[in-house]
Amino acid sequence: MFARTLEILGDLIAFPTVSTDSNLEMIAYLASHLEAAGAKVDVFLDETGRKANLFGTLGPEVDGGILLSGHCDVVPVTDQPWATDPFKLTVHDGRLYGRGTCDMKGFIAATIAMAPVFARKVRDRPLHFAFTYDEETGCIGAGHLAETLIERGIRPNVAIIGEPTEMRIVEGHKGCYEYTTHFHGLEGHGSDPDRGVNAVEYAVRYVTQLLELKNALRSKAPANSRFEPPWTTINVGAFNGGQVHNVIAPKAQIDWEMRPVQASDAAFVKQSLQQYCDDVLLPEMRRVFPQAKIETQTMGEVDGLEPADDNAARQIVAELTGANGADLVPFGTEAGIFQKIGMDVVVCGPGSIAQAHKADEYLSSDQLVKCLEMLDKLADRLEKKG
């Protein structure tokens, strides 16, 4: 099975599915292999028609079952000093080199190689496959797939997200919410500031409010939180505005993010900021310039994976791998999106995040073997328990 997986992985690496480009050829390849194994496969195009999600099912079309999920897109290789062709699998000293080997085409290749085995052993409960687009740019594809599953009444009860965790069970990570806030004021001569609306000044006050919320969130950390730090964080990443010393700045822009440990924190921050703008900043701005605006653009809201006391996915993967514990990680995944629509979810896949996104990305052969061992035991579980 390892040789077959390696062959499939080589094919997948050859698809240059950088997030800016189409993933349709890779989706067609995956669909053909799953259909050959007997799966019912649906492909869902995005609004551009250049990208797609795939959802496939082996076994009966009933509620429940296990979902194996991975994303097709990879990060760019531009300006990275690769020693080998990033879109050609290179095997050397027990390492499998290529863009996406660990993040996360290795896991996808293993699931596709195992599909005929799953097909022979699946019984009264389905096994699902979900392969998405644009995870690296905000988990956009997974969000659209979740909407599709809800619309169609498809309800898997367990999901395994195969991001690189060195085959450790990960049961939690923070969310990642990214925003750009735009301030539109009124320009004028710097010698008479009251006749204009200085967008930079109001942006500074907005940042001050963000920093106050940042401190307030420390006291909202859940009891016994295992995250590091244990509270929701806020970061101001960029501030741009104004032109020269003596002109009242008509425009300003702030790029900022928060990493929620719980959904209620995100709601608290957004509601507090909206109230501050509506009650304080905008009335002051519009007294001078009625057309003044503050607009926040959502760049991406990726739900976190919240640890749960009762998690069937954690129990199943622990039985498959022999692990006696579960970890939290600082990086984000699509897991929270599936948790939000009612699934028990863990992240567990081959490779190390330390190799992801870098030049000469690689997946250790022994990690791929461990992944195949887990999936082989999953096949046995399907045969025995459905």
Beta strands in the chain (DSSP E): 40-45, 52-58, 66-71, 90-92, 95-97, 127-132, 158-161, 170-173, 176-184, 188-189, 233-241, 247-248, 251-259, 293-302, 327-329, 344-347, 362-364
CA distances from 121 to 93, 125, 127, 142 (A): 35, 11, 10, 28
Give the pair of three-digit tokens for residue 52.
């797609």
Catalytic site includes residue 163: no
Query: Which pairing describes strands 176-184 and 251-259: parallel, antiparallel, or unpaired?
Result: antiparallel
Catalytic residue among 135, 201, 303, 306: 135
The reply to whether omega before 258 is within 30° of 0 (cis) is no
Give the pair of three-digit tokens for residue 381.
């579980």
Give the separation between CA 143 and CA 130, rounded to whole angstroms: 12
131 in Cβ contact with 54 (< 8 Å): yes
Q: What 3-state class would DSSP assign to 377?
A: helix
Catalytic site includes residue 136: no
For CA atoms 49, 51, 53, 54, the dihedral sign is positive
Q: Could you say which DSSP state residue 325 is in? A: -
How far is C-alpha 197 from the geometric centre of its chain's CA atoms? 39
Residue 95 half-sphere exposure toward CB, CA atoms < 13 A = 11
Residues 6+ positions from 163 with CB-CB distance below 8 Å:
70, 103, 104, 107, 170, 331, 333, 335, 347, 349, 353
Q: Centre a 10 Å sphere on the Cβ of residue 183 and count the other Cβ atoms it contains.
A: 28
219 in Cβ contact with 232 (< 8 Å): no
Catalytic residue among 11, 25, 42, 73: 73
Q: What residues are labeled active site?
A: 73, 135
